[in-house]
């Protein structure tokens, strides 16, 4: 019976036991299963499936390394936060001032979709208001958030 245990972190040595199958069982079907599992949720075209089949014929340790990369990229992508950045105006003390605004939209694929939707709506609004149309989607890894240490005001 096949066993698939793809490493989730950096690989320093050949992952010999990450994809194992019985001695009499060919490795290509198990390798293919591992690749398709790593690509779960990704829409595949004909060329993509052809490459999956081609990679399936490689050594299992090579396939395990590729699957590990895919998993780590997916995990990293889920830690990316997205926003829509655009130029707005504030009226402070009776004076109009140009400011950069950020509409935070969330993390991962859902955050990116939300940011794109807000960008499109903001661009349409800017055009209707005869403002510069400059709304864009921006992103940053969540681990880059910095906690601002403020002194307590007594």
- Going by C-alpha positions, the residue among 91, 28, 109 that lies closest to residue 63 is 28
Contact 100, 85 (CB under 8 A): yes
| φ, ψ for residue 92, nearest 5 deg | -115, 125
**The token pair that represents 14 in the structure block:** 């050949």
Contact 32, 57 (CB under 8 A): no
Query: What is the pLDDT, as a whole number, of residue 63?
Result: 96
Quick one: average pLDDT of 128-146?
Answer: 80
pLDDT at residue 147 greater than cutoff 60: no
HSE-CB for 123 with a 13 A CA cutoff = 12
**The token pair that represents 25 in the structure block:** 């069982």
Percent of residues, the chain, with pLDDT higher than 70: 91
Contact 128, 119 (CB under 8 A): no
pLDDT digits (tens, 9 = 90+) for 73-115: 888 878 888 889 898 877 777 787 888 888 889 888 888 899 9
Helix, coil or strand: residue 106: strand
Q: What's the CA gap between 67 and 95, in Å, rounded?
A: 56
CA distances from 97 to 32, 84, 92, 102, 149 (A): 58, 20, 7, 16, 28
């Amino acid at each position: 019976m096949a066993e698939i245990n793809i490493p989730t972190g950096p690989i320093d040595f050949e992952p010999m036991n990450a994809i194992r199958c019985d001695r009499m069982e060919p490795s290509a079907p198990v390798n293919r299963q591992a690749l398709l599992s790593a690509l779960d949720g990704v829409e595949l075209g004909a060329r993509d499936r052809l490459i999956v089949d081609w990679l399936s014929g490689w050594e299992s340790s090579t396939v395990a390394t590729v699957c590990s990369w895919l998993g780590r990229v997916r995990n990293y992508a889920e830690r990316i936060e997205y926003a829509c950045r655009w130029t707005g105006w504030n009226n402070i003390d009776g004076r109009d001032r140009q400011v950069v605004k950020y509409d935070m939209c969330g993390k991962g694929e859902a955050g990116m979709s939300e940011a794109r939707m807000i960008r499109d709506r903001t661009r349409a609004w800017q055009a209707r208001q005869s403002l510069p149309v400059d709304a864009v989607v921006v992103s940053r890894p969540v681990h880059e958030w910095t906690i601002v240490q403020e002194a307590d005001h007594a």
